[in-house]
């Protein structure tokens, strides 16, 4: 359930609930009909887990199958795998970017995804370390 006022509507931007998977997938399919690329950001996973759980992997694959070009995950506060699936990019967790808690993984990355002619995706990353709460390239 989303907090009041956070949900996207026909007339205003906002968030879609990943708990309403049918609707989420339908929205991705619809967005794909009018877009060169669809990027889905998902708040999911377990804090400090280095790997996505099977439910994340399944949903990520269904999002790509529905038309997502890129699936960006966040919440675990640690890096998780970045993979390709059917030409799309899935980043299960990008870790932290600006974060002050010293007990959380301090290594992270900036993920660069480009759309090439024909729709193919280019992929690169910039490794970073969080120092003093700020990201710094390694």
Q: What's the pLDDT at 93?
A: 94
- pLDDT value of position 90: 98
**pLDDT of res. 1:** 63
d(CA 66, CA 18): 14
pTM of the predicted model as reported, rounded to 2 decimal places: 0.88
Residue segments in the chain with a per-residue pLDDT below the cut of 50: none
Please tell me the predicted confidence (pLDDT) of residue 87.
94
pLDDT of amino acid 14: 80
| Closest among 80, 129, 138 to 106, alpha carbons compared | 129
| Separation between Cα atoms, residue 20 and residue 82, nearest integer Å | 25
For 117-130, write each residue's pLDDT tens digit: 888 899 999 999 88
Residue-wise over 52-67: b if at least 16 C-beta within 10 A, else e? beeebbebbbebbebb
What pLDDT is attached to residue 92? Answer: 97
């Amino acid at each position: 359930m989303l907090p009041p006022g956070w949900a996207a509507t026909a007339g205003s931007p906002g968030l879609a609930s990943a708990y309403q998977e049918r609707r989420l997938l339908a929205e991705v399919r619809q967005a794909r009909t009018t877009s060169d690329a669809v990027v889905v950001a998902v708040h999911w996973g377990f804090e400090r887990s280095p790997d996505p759980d099977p439910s994340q992997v399944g949903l990520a694959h269904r999002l790509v199958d529905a038309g997502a070009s890129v699936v960006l995950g966040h919440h675990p506060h640690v890096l998780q795998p970045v993979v390709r699936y059917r030409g799309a990019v899935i980043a299960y967790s990008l870790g932290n970017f600006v974060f002050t808690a010293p007990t959380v993984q301090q290594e992270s990355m900036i993920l660069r995804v480009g759309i090439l002619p024909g729709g193919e995706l280019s992929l690169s990353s910039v490794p970073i370390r969080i120092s003093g709460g700020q990201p710094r390239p390694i």
